[in-house]
Amino acid sequence: MSRPEDILPPDLFYNDTESRKYTTSSRIQKIQSSMTHRALSLLSLTSPSLILDVGCGSGLSGEILSQDEDSGTPGGPHVWIGFDISASMLGVALEKEVEGDLFLADAGQGVPFRPGTFDAAISISAVQWLCNAETSEESPAGRLSRFFNGLYASLRRGGRAVCQFYPKNDLQKKMVSSAAVKAGFGAGLLEDDEGTKNAKTYLVLTVGGGDVDGDITGVVRGMEGVDVMDERRRAKDRKRGEDKKGSKAWIMRKKEQMERKGKVVKTNSKYTGRKRRIAF
């Protein structure tokens, strides 16, 4: 299947015809709405909040955010602010007269809001666009880190963000989640219908707080097939657990490594790795 990210940059790909196609297709509408509902349930908002919609496009997800509790939006109606890089998409949103405020902005250039602005952030099928850089001045890693750093700052403490995206491969999935973790988020990756063609990847991010176990977000607790990545903890553990060079444990580990490689290694004895007496 062709990926639109590989064809053109988002501002050019979503031109007037493509934006209209995207917005009027009932199939896309249905998928977007189910993903938005899923993301909202992951955000678990209880009261009307200020929400950032990254890559809001024509406001398909924003329309759901503006709905009230009776229409299936928990805690709604929310007030949302959305930005998108495609002017045509925003044009369609203007025609539909969505309630949220719209911006023409590139998420890869950061999030221009003062710290602690939003209660939550949502992003439906947008983050994969950040994995491409269109000029040699930029890099996907730089774009991702600017976006997540900006997002981290603009969310209030205890806030949450859910980013649904289509990773091209595991590498891209890792690149996105590690960029989020580096920015300071607690990150959990959730996959619906894993392994099928309809697989949906949600990156659940939290700001501040955190439990002892790896599952900081709490939303994936008790769910099957969920990987929890915590880069900070892994780095700390590695540092503590690493053997000092020259110690007995280090020598044993090295010998084991060599043995696995098929090298000839002396058998271990009680003298292996023992300290020598000082000669004088």
Partner 1 sequence: MKLLTLNFLTCAIKTCKSSPASFPLHPRDAELEVVEADLNLAFLKNILPRLMWDELRVIASELGLPALPETPPSKADLSIPSPTAPAPATTLQLDPEAIDAPENPPVVESDVEEETPSQTAVDLHRILLETCITEGKLVCGNCGHEYAVKEGVANFLLPGHLV
Q: For partner 1, which residue of 1, 2, 7, 114 counts as binding (CB under 8 A)? A: 114
Give the residue, chosen from 105, 226, 251, 252, that forms a contact with partner 1 under the rule CB under 8 A.
105
Does 160 interact with partner 1 (rule: CB under 8 A)?
no
Would you count residue 184 as binding partner 1 (CB under 8 A)?
Answer: no
Least Cβ distance, residue 101 to partner 1 (angstroms): 5
Return contacts of 189-193, CB within 8 angstroms, 24+ apart: 189/226, 189/227, 189/228, 189/229, 190/42, 190/219, 190/220, 190/223, 190/226, 191/225, 191/226, 192/38
Residue ranges with strand state E in 141-279:
155-165, 186-192, 200-206, 227-229
Nearer to partner 1, 153 or 265 (CB): 153
Q: Does 49 bind partner 1 (CB under 8 A)?
A: yes
Residue 140 as a binder of partner 1 (CB under 8 A): the answer is: no
- How far apart CA 94 and CA 87 sit, in angstroms, is 10
Is residue 27 close enough to count as binding partner 1 by CB under 8 A?
A: no
Closest CA to 229 of 179, 195, 193: 179
Given 42, 43, 60, 90, the residue binding partner 1 (CB under 8 A): 90
Based on the shown chain and the rule CB under 8 A, indicate whether residue 156 belongs to the binding site for partner 1: yes
Residue type at position 116: G
Q: Is 104 in the site for partner 1 (CB under 8 A)?
A: yes
By CB under 8 A, residue 101 contacts partner 1: yes
Find the binder of partner 1 among 2, 135, 169, 198 (CB under 8 A): 135
Cα separation of 121 and 159, whole Å? 8
Quick check: 81 binds partner 1 (CB under 8 A)?
yes
CB-based contact 188:150 (threshold 8 Å): no
Least distance to partner 1, CB of residue 75, Å: 9
48 binds partner 1 (CB under 8 A): yes
- In DSSP terms, which residues pair with 255 in a beta bridge? none
Should residue 85 be labelled a site residue for partner 1 when binding is judged by CB under 8 A? Answer: yes
Q: Of 119 and 215, which has the nearer Cβ to partner 1?
A: 119
Q: Is the preceding peptide bond at 4 cis, omega within 30 degrees of 0? A: no
Q: How far apart are CA 60 and CA 45, in angstroms?
A: 19
Q: What angle do CA 254, 256, 261 make, to 5 degrees?
A: 95
Complex with partner 1: residue 207 or 228, whichever CB lies closer? 207
- State the residues that interact with partner 1 by CB under 8 A: 47-50, 77-79, 81, 83, 85, 90, 94, 99, 101-106, 109-110, 112-114, 116-117, 119, 135, 137-138, 146, 156
